[in-house]
Structure 1
Amino acid sequence: MALPSQMQSSPVRGRYVYRRRRKRRGPVLLAALVAFGVAFWFAYDWGEDEAAGSGEAGQTSVMAVADPLASNMSRDVMKTTSAPPRWTPAVTQSAVVEEPAAPIQVPDPIEAVVEEPSPVPASVDEPQIPVEVTQAVGTTGGPIGMGAALIEQGRFLEARALLTQAIDSGAISASEALEARQMLGMVNEELVFGPEVFAGDPWSSEYVVQPGDSLSRIVSREDLKIDWRLLQMVNGLDRPEKIQVGQTIKILHGPFHAEVNKRNHQLDLFMGEGPERAFVKSYTVGLGQFDSTPTGRFRVRKGQKIVNPTWTNPRTGEFYPADDPENPIGEYWLGLEGLDATNKGERGFGIHGTIEPDSIGTDSSMGCVRLRDGEIDTIYALMAEGVSTIDVRQ
């Protein structure tokens, strides 16, 4: 099967590269986020004053022990139920608004709130922060300042919900959206990619390993919409068979989905869909030269997740066997199928790695989406065949 890609490189690199550490770093991350939040808070307030008025390849599951047992031992975590903080997007003076803008809500705040928010004016200069938010969060710095304050207080789930909704609203500036993505990328190093399960997180839970279990069997038994490699990754397992009966591990339920912005060469990763989805992380990607990357909605095709794929260059006919270090598409391939009337006929389109990291952030491929080593393996582990979708936009 011919998997299209191209080897032309460019010296342009993606601006941001994320690398995950395998060891626990909760205290270090929290300290870094506290410093980040405080610095941003003061910088934001100062600037506001100044500017006023302006398919698996032959993978076999390895069992923990020989005797299978089909009992399900996953345990969900209780959620808090008090009223959520809210953020209302800004409305410009020239805009005509007949009704208040719909507030952005964050589920499950830790502190109870008793006061009702004041009505949002029809025309304001800045986002109007309801009274209960300033009391609960302790800032009036807009969604970025509010998110930073929540992170400083260790309220990561609330920060993720608020900042995700701020990004999705489109009511914040491009620089604020970038700031929010960076903050969430750091927070999700713990919430998603760390081994700890946070109380109230709807996307993860604990699981007790049963006799006969393997990571792939756990994925199947619990109906997880992920690849078993993600369980190995988040639990810091050197080898997948190193699970033991009675061991408590973290499981992620999924599904994960992605959005690719061609203009920015950016892939945004989310958990879930719709208004309840949660932003996870952004990746810089390489795309097709001459605007050859197709657009629309795609889904990971069943049987088309491949580790160490072979590849034949459709232009030259040159064949690259599996594990060939010169294989231009790297070690992972995720074949995609079009779901729209305009892209159902696409063949050979997918997401893969690259042996030329300098091509990331440029239009250098034959149309496919490419990622660096250390990032393509994460995307491979997150995406589920026949479930995960990728929306490619101009």
Structure 2
Amino acid sequence: MVIKKKSWEVHFSRIIGIFLLITGLLILFNAPRIKDYNIKDSSNIHINNIWDFFVAFFDELVRILHHYIGNFPVIAAIIVLLFGVFVLLVGRTLRRTTHYDYDISVFYIGLTIILMIVIMMTMFQVYSFASFLFIIPFAIHVGYVVYKNELNPMHRKKHYLWIIISYGLCYFISQFAMNHNIDAQNVKPIDVMSVNLFFILLWCLSQMSVWISLYLRRSLPVSDEDIEQFHEERYSRVKNNRLTRKIYTLAEGFYQKLQNFKQATLEKFNSEEAIAKRKRRNEKWKEIIKIEEDDIPRWMRRPKWLKKSYIEWISTVVLFLFTFIEFNNRNGLFLSGEWKLSQIQYVFEWLTLFIMMLLIILYAYFNYTTNYKNKNNFGKLFVISALFFEIATTFFVSAIQTSQFSVFITPISFLLLLFVTPAFIIHLKKSF
């Protein structure tokens, strides 16, 4: 069992506990508003400064809390506060001793499930039933984290693509549901911003929670040799604190069953029959989508002088140019003086364009490092995938629905899609 000097499991526990304490205090201080929330008051909010914007931003969370805990906000606040204190005590215990590592690992698995349920409940207010689709990428992501050591590192690109595509498709579908709810006046633009921020925070906390659980489980001794070595070398974080044999006997039995299940699954997956079946399926798909050079008209073929790296750089310049122009146009809103909450979609667009600009700049950096230094290929994969799904979603949503969050008009988004798609495909086909 290796104890890291940085003790990230302790730090993550503290972060989760502090977040719960802050959430509990916010619920407690806003209990009257949560209990007697009036949606008509939020429509009259004027935003003159950053504080007014924060008030409007928090108003959506109050609305969600009113929906779920409107009848007992004080009780809910006390429960969240006590739970936050408990998580901080768990972090303190992790720092002092390994005596309860197994029990704490089980606790953090339960906490991960609770956080994901809260994420689903929060997103349901904006994305309706489409929010439940995110169970799929959550499961794939957590499964990858759990079985990462057992997966073939030579196929890491495929593993990441499973995660990227699952998140991307769920994002694509959820945007249609969101725009439908906005058109039906079930939600407001500020609702979307608040829920998305809360989603990001809870998602990060859930990843911390599952990491703590996996770290503690992998660091536990699960055999007689490990237990004997533990007693000889004193792995306890407190000198005179030792794990009892009973706890390790239970842990050994649990891990033996877990290892048997994992081994059976891996043997079935890596059996000759399964490998042959996957190979036949892959060959079948390759034959279906295989395109020979003669199948492409001469006028559609890429000139030999036009290198793939040139296409990527051209795509980068075009994406940055149009994004910067739209971003500069949105800046006028913040210099125009007083504006109402009904105009909050412009802020959403400004934030989206700002994030896109950062991604494009990062993509330009990865272009340089991958083409000239042959590194950061996975970073480039994540960035170009995010740009592709964002632009594709923007185009299809604006073309099919009346969207209040389209950062580009339909012709511009179609033009950007024409440039980002080749860059996306080029990097997908690259071997790394």
TM-score in terms of structure 2 length: 0.23
Q: Which has the larger radius of gyration?
A: 2
More helix by share: 2
**What is the TM-score of this pair, normalised by structure 1?**
0.25
Q: Which of the pair has the greater relative contact order for Cα pairs under 8 Å at 6+ separation?
A: 1
Structure with greater strand percent: 1
